[in-house]
Structure 1
């Protein structure tokens, strides 16, 4: 529901409490007059912008955790979870944050039979506040890049090529469980987006079950195929295609992009717990335009924490790289070498269609983030 609709369901005492929160005069007896006053006051862009700027750091984090979520209705448990995440390592009263939203008319108790035990965010108010968040970082539009990469649909095609490779070739595994490098090279030559086997020594762990053995993009393809049950690793030391995997090839079935995107969200939430907020920021700032990576970095500051050998900056680069492989964004370079990002139409549909906030991290059987703590 929109703001005006929710106000009509709100009793006059609650309307007066909202009025007093903002400290302006209005009739305390006429509900219609109160609603008109509130709509007029909160309908002004400048007034809403000042309210946002007046939020402290914890309030801002809580607001983004609630308003960046594409759902409009939440349980008390979900709100308390978001409030706890907003406080982070600080000690604070989670219920006070929920009460803060209620007093401002940015959150309402559910008004229908379906939502009467839940809490609802005004849909139009959410959109306006999210635009205000984005406008704080958006300046004049960036120039078109001199070159860019767009990999929409390519990940799913290379998944099919991997399955076909396993179907038509004997693929043995090393003692560490990796495809031999010579087989990797042969496989990668068939890909639309080729990679090279991992050669350089360094720490690789935390981004998938076989991340320590393979380059980033193929690691995602491999872990996804294993998670979906398309391949199996036999105790005899070979990769085999399952009946399910063979069916994908024989029936020429294209893997749904939303399933691969959902898998990536769940996989990468291990090292980046607030990935749904980061993805939402990218969509707000780079949909329908080219936005410098530096602008996105400033916006997500505080939502990405260093992870072992990764800094917040390198984690964002990794996130953007994988979103490009998934076809969610295009990545370009300006005439001056500036790195630019633009969300694709398909990417916007994925981000808005799949609420990352409700996607939990994968079971360790399929992600096992610590099993690869080794040098390669």
Structure 2
């Protein structure tokens, strides 16, 4: 519902409470006059912009958590969870944030039988506020990059090539559970986007159950195939294709980009709990245009924290790199050497088609390499 409809369903006492929150006088002779007065104030671009700028840091984070979510309807429990995330490590009154939105007319009690015990965000107001958030960071027009990479559709096709490789080759595993390096090299040469086996000198953990054994992109492909039950790691030390995996090859089925993207969101929420906010920021800032990585870095600064050996900067670059592999963004370089990002149309459809906020992180069976192993 849009804000005009929600105001129509709201009783006059609540309408007057919203009016008093903004401190302006409005006619109370009729409900219709009061609604018109509120719409004039709430719908104005300048007024909304000033209200957002007046928010403190916690209110600003709460607003993003609510308005960046693709859903328009929330339970009290969900809103309290968002309020807790907005406060972060600070102590605060969670319900005060919800009351703050209600008083401003940015959140309403549900009005239909289906939403009676829920709370609803006006759809048109959400769009306006999200645009205003983006405009705070957007630079002047950015020139087209000199070169760029676009990998749309390639990861799903390389997943198919991996399954085909396992079907037509004997693939033994090392004692550590990795595909032998000579087999990796052979496999990677067949990929549209080739990689090299990892250099074991560096620390690698936290981004999947086999992330420590394989390069970033193939690690995602491998873990996804394992998660979907397309491959199995036999106790005898071999990778085998399951009946389900063989069906993907025999029927020449291309994997759904949406399912791979959803898996990535759930997998990477372990090291980046607020990943759904980050990808929404990227979509708001870089859809249909080229935007510098520096601008995105400023916008998401509140939502990425260092993770063991990963800094905020390296985490953002890892996120952007994986989004490129997923076909969600293109990455380029300007004439001045500046790193640029642009969200693809397919990427926008994925980001707005999968509500990352309601996707939980994967359990340890699919994300922790030590799951089920005895630690000595």
- What TM-score, normalized to structure 1? 0.98
> Cα RMSD over matched residues?
0.8
CA distance in 1, matches of 2:311, 2:365: 26
Does the 8 A contact of 1:206 with 1:370 survive in 2? Answer: no
Does the 8 A contact of 1:207 with 1:369 survive in 2? Answer: no
Aligned to 1:285: 285
1:228 aligns with 2:217: no
Aligned to 2:324: 324
Would the alpha carbon gap of residues 369 and 69 (structure 1) be closer, same or farther in structure 2, given more than 3 Å must change? farther
Aligned to 1:64: 64
CA distance in 2, matches of 1:257, 1:155: 8
1:182 aligns with 2:196: no
Q: What secondary structure is seen at the aligned counterpart in 2 of 1:366?
A: helix
The CA deviation string for residues 132-168 of structure 1, in whole angstroms up to 9 with x for no partner, is 0000000211000011000000000000000000000
C-alpha deviation, 1:370, in angstroms? 6.2
Q: What secondary structure is seen at the aligned counterpart in 1 of 2:178?
A: coil
CA distance in 2, matches of 1:26, 1:316: 47
Specify every segment of 5 or more residues in structure 1 that has no aligned partner in the other structure, as ranges.
Answer: 372-376
Q: What secondary structure is seen at the aligned counterpart in 1 of 2:58?
A: helix
Q: What secondary structure is seen at the aligned counterpart in 1 of 2:331?
A: strand
CA distance in 2, matches of 1:100, 1:178: 53
Q: What secondary structure is seen at the aligned counterpart in 2 of 1:4?
A: helix
Count of residues in Structure 1 that have an aligned counterpart in Structure 2: 371
CA distance in 1, matches of 2:237, 2:98: 54
- Once superposed, which parts of structure 1, at least 4 consecutive aligned residues long, lie more than 6 Å away? none
Specify every segment of 5 or more residues in structure 2 that has no aligned partner in the other structure, as ranges.
Answer: 372-376
The CA deviation string for residues 248-302 of structure 1, in whole angstroms up to 9 with x for no partner, is 0000000000000000000000000000000000000000000000000000001
Aligned to 2:343: 343
The CA deviation string for residues 140-199 of structure 1, in whole angstroms up to 9 with x for no partner, is 110000110000000000000000000000000000000000000000000000000012
Aligned to 1:271: 271
Aligned to 2:194: 194
Aligned to 1:114: 114
Aligned to 1:132: 132
Pairwise mapping of residues 32-43 of structure 1 onto structure 2 (< 5 A)? 32-43=32-43
CA distance in 2, matches of 1:168, 1:186: 13
